[in-house]
Amino acid sequence: MAAPQTFSLLALTLSLLALASTVHSHNITQILADNPEYSSFNSYLSQTKLADEINSRSTITLLVLNNGAMASLAGKHPLSVIKNALSLLVLLDYYDPQKLHKISDGTVLTTTLYQTTGNAPGNLGFVNITDLKGGKVGFGSAASGSKLDSSYTKSVNQIPYNISVLEIDAPIISPGLLTAPAPSAAVSNLTGLLEKAGCKTFAGLLVSSGVLKTYESTIEKGLTVFAPNDEAFKDDDVPDLMKLTQAEVVSLLEYHALAEYKPKGSLKTNKNKISTLATNGAGKYDLTTSTSGDEVVLHTGIAPSRLADTVLDATPVVIFTVDKVLLPPELFGNATSPAPAPAPVTAPTPSPAEGPSPTAASPPAPPTDESPESSPSDSPVGSANSKSANAAVAVSSPSLFTALVTLVAIAVSVSL
């Protein structure tokens, strides 16, 4: 009888179908919300925006602390320190309980989200996982001489190969983690930070216009800065700032900051229009974002600007450099239209295989902006493009479906 093969093929097919229909990624806030014993941990994931970062990644393991174990951190340190401590619990690899107990040689160093932030000195963003005697698994900092102070207690949830949530009994503390200086010290010299990051022109404008004070006034509540580097101000596409009124310069500079904490992970998962400090009414002076891999692009409606470096990420303040001055349509909408469209260097070129055939849909050259992945605010060009993007998705799903149906058909015919 061929029945067993048929069933396993069918099972494979069904699970592939299930995978295909789960288009959206995980929501860690939702996963932990089902477990009130992690409410404190979950709340800090949201406050520090680590939840967004976790949701934007796959193949990760989150080590969670229950409310009791979280008590040693909660409320005892600045948010920026707690964020670092929790980042060390986001392993950039997938460990389910089985894999945890099958570590080759019984010990391994694994990289964490903390290592990717640039805040971790040396190898302090790595975690040592060691299979101890008696089925116990210990976790500790990778720093030499560190003890394995935390232990695996139980599995909380797994979405295979995307995210595994495991409970451990104590935070992993790397040397210096809890004694990092409070961000207020780092942030107190905003212009100094910007100058060091290669944004002297921008820093100078903030001071001369007085907008620096507006930035500083929102630091407590949250501040995100998109600082164009000095090269960006030399760009041919940048209109002559000398021709702007004082009020327009203020709006332009306020357009480069948000009165909220939006680190990279949050920008990556963002789907909405983002209000800036210049926003003075619905739909005014806002930004949209698009993501390609690890890259984030800001869209003003006139020209895209790529997020370059993170100068500082100290909850609730984050400072990025961007490679283009952000030009709000409210100031430059019609003035820059005749300017040549920026070369599509930053635009991801679709591979010939998945791109539409040139005859089928050759979109008209955009009059102003932008990359093929234009955001909704860049309409009408943007909306047309996003429609064709949706169409591409719609086409690929049925073809997957057809392939699966064919598989089932083969399975059935084999069994006959």
33 binds ligand NAG (CB under 6 A): yes
Single residue of 14, 109, 395, 410 touching ligand NAG by CB under 6 A: 109
Single residue of 30, 246, 280, 406 touching ligand NAG by CB under 6 A: 30
Single residue of 98, 334, 351, 359 touching ligand NAG by CB under 6 A: 334
Residue position matching structure tokens 């049925």? 398
x/- site string to ligand NAG, residues 118 to 157, per CB under 6 A?
----------x-x---------x-------x---------
Residue position matching structure tokens 């509540």? 221
Q: Quick one: 116 or 291, whose CB is closer to ligand NAG? A: 291
58 binds ligand NAG (CB under 6 A): yes
Report helix, strand and coil shares of the chain as percent, to nearest 5: 40, 20, 40
Least distance between ligand NAG and beta carbon 357 (Å): 26
Single residue of 192, 210, 355, 398 touching ligand NAG by CB under 6 A: 192
DSSP structural state of residue 357: P
Q: Quick one: 282 or 345, whose CB is closer to ligand NAG? A: 282
User: Measured between alpha carbons, how far is 32 from 156 in angstroms, rounded to an integer?
Assistant: 9
User: Measured between alpha carbons, how far is 15 from 56 in angstroms, rounded to an integer?
Assistant: 23
Question: Helix/strand/coil (H, E, C) string of 226-261?
Answer: EEECHHHHHCCCCCCHHHCCHHHHHHHHHCCEECCC
Which region, judged by CB under 6 A, interacts with ligand NAG, from 102-110, 200-208, 228-236, 254-262?
A: 102-110
User: Measured between alpha carbons, how far is 391 from 393 in angstroms, rounded to an integer?
Assistant: 5
User: Measured between alpha carbons, how far is 131 from 144 in angstroms, rounded to an integer?
Assistant: 18
361 binds ligand NAG (CB under 6 A): no
Other Cβ atoms less than 10 A from the Cβ of 240: the count is 6
Task: Find, among 225, 152, 150, 160, the residue nearest to 187 by Cα.
Answer: 225
Q: Quick one: 245 or 357, whose CB is closer to ligand NAG? A: 245
Residue nearest ligand NAG, Cβ-based: 192
Taking only Cα atoms into account, the Rg of the chain, rounded to an integer number of angstroms, comes to: 25
Q: Token pair of 345, please?
A: 């260097």
Kindly state the helix (H) or strand (E) to which residue 400 belongs, with its residue range: helix 381-415
User: Measured between alpha carbons, how far is 78 from 46 in angstroms, rounded to an integer?
Assistant: 15
Q: Quick one: 136 or 196, whose CB is closer to ligand NAG? A: 196
329 binds ligand NAG (CB under 6 A): yes
Asked if residue 201 lies in contact with residue 195, where contact means CB atoms within 8 angstroms, the answer is no
Q: Quick one: 140 or 372, whose CB is closer to ligand NAG? A: 140
User: Measured between alpha carbons, how far is 357 from 349 in angstroms, rounded to an integer?
Assistant: 14
397 binds ligand NAG (CB under 6 A): no
Which region, judged by CB under 6 A, interacts with ligand NAG, from 22-30, 86-94, 204-212, 257-265?
A: 22-30
Least distance between ligand NAG and beta carbon 31 (Å): 9
Residue type, 292: S
292 binds ligand NAG (CB under 6 A): no
Least distance between ligand NAG and beta carbon 23 (Å): 6
Residue count, binding to ligand NAG (CB under 6 A): 26
Please give the residue ranges that form the binding site for ligand NAG (CB under 6 A): 19, 22-23, 25, 27, 29-30, 33, 58, 107-109, 128, 130, 140, 148, 159, 162, 189, 192, 195-196, 329-330, 333-334
